[in-house]
């Protein structure tokens, strides 16, 4: 029986209930996190907890019951109770503004939030990581607070569906002629020997994996600039990869039907993928 966490209790997944008036359901009014778990250890917990707190503050959702220590204990207990203390898994956390009659503006300040946690077994796609994947490009139709990890994911849902229909893994968004990020990943490109990625701002999610890649690039002496790459330069980059909690470092070797460079994962991508794997396995950060 798989257990989930809901508002202070651990219950069988099929017994978990949220009211139909939950604002997460009605408005997408909430914040979520996905955390990687390796051999029972939560990877980069503090960074995930800080991003969640920042997201809740950004939406002005109460944080009581969703403090870092509380949520960490929830994750660790779910991992143990669901038999995920060995191998790989993910934890999903979501906090919404709670249930209240459907009015757009905030409900009374004492409305309890909904705090939910669940786990899943995770198996990285080793063949795709090794061989590379296909990507497509799409206009970034999302709102302009992409730095908040809200459960409003329609932009990503539509983009990933378009990718799926094109036989691709990821959709890369562009805004104002610049590549911002993937539908559920951050994007890096090697241009003229320099690793480039969109700078942190409200147009991209501050990915935890992105942060790890930036730190690994420094550690490995790989020149890095947090500077956008234009859509028109994209077909001519030497390497392109996307990264995320469940994506690791994923080479994109074909974009919109055209090969990137020689159509194989490039050396910087491979180095960073291997370095990230070592860090994940060590449970560092």
Ligand X SMILES: Cc1ncc(COP(=O)(O)O)c(C=O)c1O
Q: Which of 80, 134, 149, 264 is catalytic?
A: 149
Does 35 help bind ligand X (rule: CB under 6 A)? Answer: no
Does 207 help bind ligand X (rule: CB under 6 A)? Answer: yes
- The smaller minimum CB distance to ligand X, of residues 99 and 216, is found at 216
Does 181 help bind ligand X (rule: CB under 6 A)? Answer: yes
**What's phi and psi for 76, nearest 5 deg?**
-65, -40
Q: Which stretch, 68-76, 200-208, 219-227, 251-259, contacts ligand X (CB under 6 A)?
A: 200-208
Give the alpha-carbon dihedral of 38, 196, 171, 180, to 10 degrees.
110
Q: Which of 276, 190, 279 minimizes the C-alpha distance to 229?
A: 190
- The smaller minimum CB distance to ligand X, of residues 181 and 239, is found at 181
Paired tokens of 224 = 């890095």
For the CB of residue 108, give the shortest distance to ligand X in the complex, in Å: 31
Contacts of 248 (CB under 8 A, 6+ apart): 124, 129, 209, 273, 276, 277, 280
Tell me the CA distances in angstroms from 151 to 23, 28, 29, one per residue in order: 11, 5, 7
Does 98 help bind ligand X (rule: CB under 6 A)? Answer: no
- Give the other-Cβ count within 10 Å of 226's Cβ: 13
- The smaller minimum CB distance to ligand X, of residues 214 and 253, is found at 214
- The smaller minimum CB distance to ligand X, of residues 99 and 231, is found at 231
172: helix, strand or coil: strand
- Angstrom distance (rounded) from CA 78 to CA 92: 10
SS (H, E, C) 1-35: CCEEEECCEEEEHHHCCCCCCEHHHHHCCEEEEEE
Does 94 help bind ligand X (rule: CB under 6 A)? Answer: no
Does 208 help bind ligand X (rule: CB under 6 A)? Answer: yes
The reply to whether 80 belongs to the active site is no
Q: Which of 280, 270, 272, 283 minimizes the C-alpha distance to 219?
A: 272
Q: Which stretch, 106-114, 123-131, 206-214, 249-257, contacts ligand X (CB under 6 A)?
A: 206-214
- The smaller minimum CB distance to ligand X, of residues 81 and 88, is found at 88
DSSP 148: S
For the CB of residue 179, give the shortest distance to ligand X in the complex, in Å: 12
Does 213 help bind ligand X (rule: CB under 6 A)? Answer: no
Does 90 help bind ligand X (rule: CB under 6 A)? Answer: no
- Angstrom distance (rounded) from CA 213 to CA 186: 10
- Angstrom distance (rounded) from CA 154 to CA 151: 9
- The smaller minimum CB distance to ligand X, of residues 5 and 173, is found at 173
For the CB of residue 43, give the shortest distance to ligand X in the complex, in Å: 10
Does 250 help bind ligand X (rule: CB under 6 A)? Answer: no
- Angstrom distance (rounded) from CA 98 to CA 18: 9
Looking at 185, 197, 250, 269, which residue binds ligand X (CB under 6 A)? 185
Looking at 205, 237, 272, 280, which residue binds ligand X (CB under 6 A)? 205
For the CB of residue 217, give the shortest distance to ligand X in the complex, in Å: 15
Does 150 help bind ligand X (rule: CB under 6 A)? Answer: no
Residues recognised as catalytic:
149
- Which residues here bind ligand X, judged by CB under 6 A? 181, 184-186, 205, 207-210, 244-245
């Amino acid at each position: 029986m798989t257990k989930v966490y809901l508002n202070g209790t651990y219950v069988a997944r099929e017994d978990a209930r949220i009211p139909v008036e939950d604002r997460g359901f009605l408005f997408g009014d909430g914040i979520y996190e996905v955390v990687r778990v390796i051999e029972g250890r939560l990877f980069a917990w503090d960074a995930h907890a800080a991003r969640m707190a920042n997201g809740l503050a950004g939406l002005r959702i109460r944080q009581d019951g969703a403090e870092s220590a509380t949520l960490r204990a929830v994750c660790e207990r779910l991992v143990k109770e669901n038999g995920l203390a060995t191998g790989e898994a993910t934890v999903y956390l979501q906090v919404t503004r709670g249930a209240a009659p459907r009015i757009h503006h905030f409900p009374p300040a004492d409305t309890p939030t909904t705090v939910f946690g669940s786990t899943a077994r995770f198996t990285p796609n080793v063949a795709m990581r090794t061989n590379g994947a296909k990507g497509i490009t799409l206009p970034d139709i999302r709102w302009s607070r992409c730095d908040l990890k809200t459960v409003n994911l329609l932009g990503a849902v539509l983009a990933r569906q378009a990718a799926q229909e094109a036989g691709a893994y990821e959709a890369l968004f562009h805004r104002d002629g610049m590549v911002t990020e993937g539908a559920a990943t951050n994007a890096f490109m090697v241009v003229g020997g320099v690793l480039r990625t969109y700078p942190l701002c409200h147009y991209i999610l501050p990915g935890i994996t992105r942060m790890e890649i930036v730190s690994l690039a420094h550690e490995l002496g790989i020149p890095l600039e947090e500077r956008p790459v234009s859509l028109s330069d994209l077909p001519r980059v030497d390497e392109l990869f996307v990264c995320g909690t469940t994506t690791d470092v994923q080479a994109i070797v074909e974009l919109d039907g055209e090969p990137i460079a020689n159509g194989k994962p490039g050396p910087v991508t491979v180095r960073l993928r291997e370095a990230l794997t070592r860090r994940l396995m060590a449970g560092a950060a």
